[in-house]
Structure 1
Amino acid sequence: MIVGTAKIYLYANWVHSLKEKRMVVKSIIGKSKHRFNVSIAEVENQDYHQSIVIGIACVTNTARMANSIIQNVVDFIEENTEAMIENVETEIL
């Protein structure tokens, strides 16, 4: 069993309230969960309205597949939001 995890750090400079941020985060999480069947949630900086940190986890049988799933989710998020991806930390266990 291989577990792939990632933290995606996003910056949304147009967001001016936690309510706006919540709308962006809910959209990203809902679309990604539905499309890729991964566990995904906002994991850090929940009180800062322009900083978004999303955690992703997947379970598979090969490290190559875990890397592929995580990369596909990151690419999907990058294409479907105006927030800028600042950093991605990936770990395969």
Structure 2
Amino acid sequence: MIIYAEVECLLYEGNSLKHKRSLLKKVMTKLKNEFNVAIAELDFHDLWQRTKLGIVTISNEKAHAEKVMQTVLQMIDTFPELERTLTEIEHV
């Protein structure tokens, strides 16, 4: 089972692309290390206050893949520097 999510976020702190990239690197590294997911910034590369992330998890069990993705989304919500606004999830 493959589960793919596109997550749009607003970034409240900082006022530069340098700060945005630093924050995204911290968030993406934590998610990759803790949950073994693939993650990348998909859109809004030139806007410092907005981002769109693509996240993928693969498992041989549907329930496990869904649990991992929900935990990843909950982890994103714990970062006070950003707010998850739109989330689209696909089961492949």
TM class, shorter-length: over 0.9
Q: What's the Cα RMSD here?
A: 1.1
Structure 1 residues not aligned, in runs of 5+: none
What is the aligned length? Answer: 92
1:34-73 pair list within 5 angstroms: 34-73=33-72
Q: Which amino acid aligns with 1:27?
A: K
Displacement of 1:15 in angstroms is: 2.9
TM-score, length-normalised on structure 1? 0.91
TM-score, length-normalised on structure 2? 0.92
Q: Which amino acid aligns with 1:67?
A: E
Find the aligned partners of 1:10 and 1:70 in 2 and give their Cα distance. Answer: 16
Q: Equivalent pairs: percent with the same residue?
A: 29
Q: Which runs of 4+ in 1 moved over 3 A?
A: none
Alignment check: 8 A CA contact 2:12 2:81 kept = no
Deviations 1:17-62 (A, max 9, x none): 1001001100000000000001011111111110011110011112
